[in-house]
Amino acid sequence: MSWLSLTVNADAAYAESLSEALLEFGALSVDMHDADADTPQEQAIFGEPGEPSASLWSHNCVTALFAADADVEDILQQASRAAGLKQSPPHQVTPLQDNDWVRLTQSQFDPIRISQRLWIVPTWHTAVDAAAINIILDPGLAFGTGSHPTTRLCLRWLDENIRGGENVLDYGCGSGILAIAAMKLGAGRAYGVDVDAQAVQSSRDNALANQIKADFSLPDGTLQPADIVVANILTNPLKMLAPLLAGATRQGGRIVLSGVLSEQAEDVMQVYAQWFNLNPAVMEDGWACLSGTKK
């Protein structure tokens, strides 16, 4: 069976109402994501401490799925009028062939070698190197599978710098991969914080699957000083969170920051330089990893 996929560029003013109208007029499913993802304009929609949360991105990409015989153009016109628009917004309709989606998704995620001794292994694969440090992790709703350069950069830093017994904070833990890796690499304690309750649950599930004891929670305003603070988020939240993350790093402790595009690295370093002696940025595929020691 085949399907039709509708992709619409939608501003925040009408993206949600248009999505609801598309479902009302016959869409089988609707998804929204940030149209500016992986650019300097990328926007976090979860509010951090001290900053109001936004409900939608400024520029949204709305994707709707329809049966192959649906009149998508007519449905979009009806949905646009219901959302208060005079005409249909810019869009594209493409055919989508039916697939074994589970198998297709799994085929896109092979074991990922992070370093000489560290691997990320999905549950449907056998570890390539049984003697290595293997983190069992499937793609899920939370960010952090090891496939993104920022995650790999942070994992390599942990692999190279954890000596054993450290207290590690993973702020913006996503899937919990960095806290889990820290424990497998010899940290004494790891705990993660995320503003997304779904990410906190995902982290707990992944820690359980890896037989790792780590604590994950929503922010509550209290962070115990850690030997190592890791934050793989985005540039703007990292800049805004600088005082909080600096305060969560003990004197002489170290900080690791990623989610930063290469051209944004200097800007972030200038913000953190008042608390940390920073090392040169490490780059991969247009992304930067920043690290330093608390003054």
The pair phi, psi for residue 15, each rounded to 5°, is -60, -45
**pLDDT, position 59:** 78
**Within 10 A of 217 (CB to CB), how many other CB atoms are there?**
14
**pLDDT, position 54:** 45
Q: pLDDT confidence of 40, banded at 50, 70, 90?
A: low
**pLDDT, position 44:** 54
* Whether domain 2-98 has CATH 3.30.70.120: yes
Nearest-5° Cα angle at 94, 92 to 95: 165
End-to-end CA distance of the chain: 62
pLDDT digits (tens, 9 = 90+) for 85-115: 989 999 999 987 665 544 545 555 678 889 9
Spell 10-47 as b/e; 16+ CB within 10 A means b. beeebbbbbbebbeebbbeebebebbeeeeeebbbeee
Spell 53-71 as b/e; 16+ CB within 10 A means b. eeebbebbbbbbbbeeebe
pLDDT digits (tens, 9 = 90+) for 263-288: 999 999 999 999 999 999 999 999 99
The answer, yes or no, to whether residue 257 has pLDDT greater than 80, is: yes
Q: Whose CA is closest to 240, among 257, 218, 252, 263?
A: 257
Domain-wise residue ranges, the chain = 2-98, 142-294
As a whole number of Å, the CA-based R_g of the chain is 21
Q: Which residue has the tokens 């030997």?
A: 227
**Within 10 A of 213 (CB to CB), how many other CB atoms are there?**
10
CA atoms within 13 Å, Cβ hemisphere of 99: 10
Residue 44 or 133, more confident: 133
**pLDDT, position 109:** 67
Residue 280 or 140, more confident: 280
Q: Find how far residue 110's CA is from the centre of its chain.
A: 19
Q: Average the pLDDT over 193-212 and give the result.
A: 93
CATH number of this structure's domain 142-294: 3.40.50.150
Q: Average the pLDDT over 14-31 and give the result.
A: 90
**pLDDT, position 39:** 62
